[in-house]
Chains A and B, each alone.
Chain A
Amino acid sequence: MIQNAWLIPLLPLIGFLILGLGNKFLTKSLSGIIASGTVLGSFIIAVTIFLGFLSGENKATTINLFDWINSGTLHISFSFLIDQLSMLMVLIITGVGFLIHVYSIGYMSHDEGFTRFFAYLNLFVFSMLLLVLGSNYVIMFIGWEGVGLCSYLLIGFWFKNQDYNDAAKKAFIMNRIGDLGFLLGIFLIYMTFGSVNYAEVFEGAKGFASGDSVLVVITLLLFIGAMGKSAQIPLYTWLPDAMAGPTPVSALIHAATMVTAGIYMIARSNVLYTLAPITQTIVLFVGLFTAFVAATIGLFQNDIKKVLAYSTVSQLGYMFVALGVGGYSSAMFHLTTHAFFKALLFLGAGSVIHAMSGEQDIRKMGGLKKYLPITYITFLLGTLAISGVPPFAGFFSKDEILALTIGPFSNIIFIVLSFTSVLTAIYMFRVFFLTFHSTFRGTEEQKHHLHESPATITIPLVILAILSTVGGFLGMPRIMSEHHFLSQYLAPIFEFSDLKSEAKAPSEFAEYTIIIVAVVVLALIVLWAMNRYIKKASVPPADDKQTPALRNLIYNKYYIDELYDAIIVAPINWFGKQFNNIIEIQMIDGFVNSIGKTVIWGGKTLRLVQTGAIGFYIFVMVAGIIAILLYNFIR
């Protein structure tokens, strides 16, 4: 079976070709079936191979399709590396991808670009599979560019809106900045190791001393690529804007798969990163800063998809923190659970938006529990999972990362990251309560229109909800189970790094403490949020006036409200605003935009040099010749 792994990317490619060429002739239902069917086919093949790995019957295999480039010293083969890591990614991509395809059949049913949408979606799945299956960096780069292109096409899918086009362009250009780093990294890898194949590169890297400057530069360049693709500071602002695309796109590309490509790349290159501790520290702090800043911004967003987008940025930051401390399998674990619950949340949000006829502002929602029961329950499960409530998926994966951060840098990372978890719970429950509880705040017309979504939408939600609930058992902490399934499964990939890093497992006491504190804090947050958004039916004001604290809860409520408002909410509010205004809008956007502006200004100015007068042209030519001759004589 493993020899047939090349079918996995081929099927979606065939789907894309059929849909792309037969755009005119296919009915909507047929194109939906073709698109989902090809991804399902890939998923089934992937499962059989995966089972083979579990039973120990499959070994990591390279499937050589053809020699792509073979000239002089440059040998690049078009081949796939089938191992534990790539199969895990393939399962996520095809599995979650299939559910989202099914969901899209319902979600996009009224759209005129239905077939085009599925063609792009299949092309995306193909490129993403190419990215994770490639056995060398060049194939990975091709997939990398491919997913970027699909992301661009899909963000701008509703192209009649100029803002959406701008968002698409922003995403593409920011990603290109990251890609520059990646490409240079590949060149440097080729120069250093004489090959771009993973096997040879990692084998060669093991001969380098830890901290060798070449490795540091390579890993930093690759990390720049990862920052673009996985939306880390300073290249993250495209992701919230990318929410302009249809919601299934946000779920598939901007939550579950494409944005995790950076994580995958670093996990794949773990040998290089383990040998470059400086880069690891940088990865760690970029991830930490991103996780925190994005979470604070998420607190005050009123667009349901924007909140989820910032949450995605924040969770990606978590994964980078895990990579930074050498917990590669923990990062992959969180990537997996995050794919489940974030896809679920986005699809749930999509279901809400669908019911609300396109409304995305949570201030205009409320009380949807009654109208959308299935969406309500599944969204609740997703919220619990992302907030880290035991025993949902996010709890295990997040606590595993938290446990890893105890110790280094005198626990600062642990503290900030824990605090970020608190913020995560706050903004998620805020969104949850504002959307589903209290009374409906929209217009009468919208209210009239409210309905539960069709089965094609709710069934994927239910399946993802189940996965978000049980996904955490892939990796139970030591105190609960001797058997950490995922890290054992991935062990062969990270063998070298696990040997090198002296990351000590946290003490049992620490693990218990984390769990207990987490549960208590989460309970408090839920109570606070219920008080604020259900009892008091507080709605975020259009402007930013702080509502006076009210009292009415179990005990000491006044104290708690005051405490939250004064000590946490107000400063965070301030921080969130500052981060949003100063860092995001002025510094980061400003910086990125100013490059673009400089180029456009340069274009405007430089073209005036082309005066149209032959005399001037010849004058410049002669001046050039004289300069060249002079240069040669003075030298």
Chain B
Amino acid sequence: MKAIIILSALGLATMFVGVYNFKKALLPMILLGLLAVIGINTMEWNTNIHYYNDMLYFDNWAVSFTNLILAVSILVFLLSGQYFKKNTDHLEDNYSIIIFTIIGAILMVSYSNLAMLFIGIETLSISLYILAGSKKTSLASNEASLKYFLMGSFATGFLLFGIVLLYGASGTFHLHGIKDYVIENHASLPTIFYVGILLMMVGLAFKISIVPFHFWTADVYEGSPTLITAFMATVVKIAGFAAFLRLFFTCFSSITEHFVPILCILAVLTMFLGNITAVYQNNFKRMLAFSSISHAGYMLLAIIALKESSFIAILLYTAAYSVATITAFAVLLMIKAAHQENDSIDTFNGLAKRSPFMAFTLTIAMLSLAGIPITGGFFAKYYLFANTISAGYTWLVVLAVFNSAIGVYYYFKVIIAAYFKEGSEEKLSIFPAYQLVLIITAIATLLLGILPGLITEMM
């Protein structure tokens, strides 16, 4: 909870510091602020406090997802220093909007009332509409922004209507109130309640890009400024899944028969479409977009399983996925910073010669995304699949494992480009901040793979 207040203050401060032209101090201030927020947030561990008439509830899941979001944001901010170097006109605006996005994400992982969920999602989304269009003169950025905005607010309409219908049936916005209502009226739930569940599902599925609500993903990822894409691909996924799981686990876990069959179909569609489409992508950002769709498909299995351990599964998976994705984007940004080349996978050709360090970290990231041991991606997948099997959905896991085999193909395309293809011979220098990010992500990926007990035992 304190995290939200401090971050809001930080966001406002960022705006004003910009006015008074302390641009140099901006980034260190934000980084220190975020680190402090992680510390303060960690102190709420095991306190399980309900805030403001149970509008927010910081249980251990909320605390750990918040920390994950903050940690990933720190990595993104570390990358931003160089990224915004050329364009400092609206630096403070960009930074403060990113901070407000983080606040929205934190609301989404800690809400205990549908009003907070709605506010969280909207804070996150509206900020992202702006960020996606923050390259004002680039047509691609404009298009991404408009597409995201129109489709996003369209999906919000459904989410909102769903919330209203749930309220109409149960008479409350509180998660535990809805849960009690479901348990009491288990046998005779009105139609509007079911429709409400489904509409909320649609609204949330849009945020985490589940087929057929995924269309925005590839276009928006491609068109947005690369740094923002990195931020969207990680923080939004974490918050979206945590919110989805929190709602469905708390309220609807006793009436799974009404939405789980649909989720199963959506998961299968998402996995196949994401993976198969990614195979033929030559644009690295688009490939990562479809890869993120396929990962959403895998993570949906945790929601289908709908158990307490699904939280660990999602936490591990989003952590491994985000860390690897940040690595991939950091390497892409670094190459682009040197050359202004396009986003094609060919950009990575001969990377092993130009910068063995970056090629190595990129390889770890790709292996992790492909789910090869001993990376975090493997363990996360293993945990997720084992969790799903123990809930009795073996057939889904069979399909998911098959899909991850397809995934290997396109992730290896990147490794092959880096190691086995001839490209420019010119050496790449690497900014210190990027080096730091790459070292952190590589170590984190390996740690998650070798010692996942660090996380699983804590929970």
Contact = CB atoms under 8 A, between A and B. Distances in A.
A and B touch in the complex (CB under 8 A): yes
B306 to A, nearest CB: 15
Contacts of B386: 74, 187, 190
Contacts of B216: 617
B118 interface: no
Interface string B404-443: 0110110010001001111000000000000000000000
Interface in A36-77: 66-74
A173 B409 contact: yes
B344 interface: no
Interface string A565-576: 000000000000
B329 interface: no
B200 to A, nearest CB: 12
B154 A621 contact: yes
Contact of A606 (B158, B273, B397): B273
Given A68-B453, A138-B382, A159-B419, A191 B202 contact: no
Given A68-B453, A191-B390, A603 B276 contact: yes
Contacts of B276: 599, 602-603, 606
Contacts of B459: 71
Interface residues of A, number: 58
B195 A629 contact: yes
Interface string A173-188: 1001101100110010
Contacts of B262: 628, 631-632
A603 B390 contact: no
A632 B277 contact: no
Given A149-B372, A606-B277, A632-B198, A187 B389 contact: yes
B92 interface: no
B356 A74 contact: no
A172 interface: yes
A631 B258 CA distance: 10
Interface string B236-270: 00000000000000000000001001100000000
A494 B258 CA distance: 51
Nearest to A615: B150
Nearest to A610: B218
B385 A176 contact: no
A616 to B, nearest CB: 8
A588 interface: no
A160 B215 contact: no
A78 B452 CA distance: 11
A282 B212 CA distance: 43
Given A71-B456, A628-B202, A610 B405 contact: no
Contacts of A602: 276, 279
Interface stretch (A139-147, A326-334, A428-436, A578-586): A139-147
Interface in B321-347: none
A604 interface: yes
A141 B280 contact: no
Contacts of B367: 149
B5 interface: no
Contact of A625 (B158, B280, B309): B158
A618 interface: yes
B170 to A, nearest CB: 18
Contact of A603 (B155, B280, B420, B451): B280
Nearest to A617: B215
Given A173-B409, A628-B198, A72 B151 contact: no
Contact of A145 (B372, B405, B450): B372
A624 interface: yes
Contacts of A599: 276, 279, 406, 409
Nearest to A157: B420
B373 A145 contact: yes
A150 to B, nearest CB: 12
B402 interface: yes
Contacts of A632: 194-195, 198, 258, 262
Contacts of A548: none
Contacts of A23: 356
A169 interface: yes
Contacts of B416: 165, 169
Contacts of B277: 603, 606-607, 609-610
B401 interface: yes
Query: Main secondary structure on chain A at its contact with chain B?
Result: helix
B54 to A, nearest CB: 28
Contact of A69 (B279, B408, B419, B453): B453
Contacts of A618: 150-151, 154
A499 interface: no
A524 interface: no
Interface in B292-330: 309, 312
A612 B199 CA distance: 25
A620 interface: yes
Contacts of B409: 173, 596, 599
B444 interface: no
Contact of B453 (A70, A138, A179, A191): A70
Nearest to B215: A617
Contacts of A616: 215
B207 interface: no
A563 interface: no
Contacts of A635: 261
Interface in A127-178: 138, 141-142, 145-146, 149, 156, 159-160, 165, 169, 172-173, 176-177
Nearest to B197: A632
B374 interface: yes
B451 A68 contact: yes
B81 to A, nearest CB: 27
A439 B416 CA distance: 43
Contact of A621 (B215, B219, B406): B215
A604 B280 contact: yes
A622 to B, nearest CB: 9
B445 to A, nearest CB: 15
B115 interface: no
Contacts of B457: 67, 70-71
Interface in B86-123: none
B147 interface: yes
Given A599-B409, A621-B151, A142 B373 contact: yes
B213 interface: yes
B129 interface: no
B28 to A, nearest CB: 31
Nearest to A161: B420
B57 interface: no
A484 to B, nearest CB: 37
Contacts of B77: none
Contact of B151 (A176, A179, A614, A624): A614
A625 B374 contact: no
Contacts of B199: 625
B398 interface: yes
Contacts of B146: 614
A224 to B, nearest CB: 12
A157 to B, nearest CB: 10
B373 A141 contact: yes
Given A156-B420, A159-B420, A629-B198, 6 more contacts: A71-B459, A142-B374, A610-B215, A610-B218, A621-B215, A632-B262
24 contacts: A68-B452, A69-B379, A69-B456, A71-B383, A71-B457, A71-B459, A72-B309, A74-B383, A141-B373, A142-B373, A156-B420, A159-B421, A180-B402, A187-B386, A187-B397, A599-B276, A606-B276, A609-B277, A612-B219, A614-B147, A618-B154, A620-B215, A621-B206, A621-B213
Q: Which 10 A-B pairs have the closest CB atoms?
A: A603-B280, A71-B456, A603-B279, A159-B420, A617-B215, A624-B212, A142-B373, A602-B276, A606-B277, A145-B373
Interface of B: 146-147, 150-151, 154-155, 158, 194-195, 198-199, 201-202, 206, 212-213, 215-216, 218-219, 258, 261-262, 273, 276-281, 309, 312, 356, 367, 372-374, 378-379, 382-383, 385-386, 389-390, 394, 397-398, 401-402, 405-406, 408-409, 412, 416, 419-422, 450-453, 456-457, 459
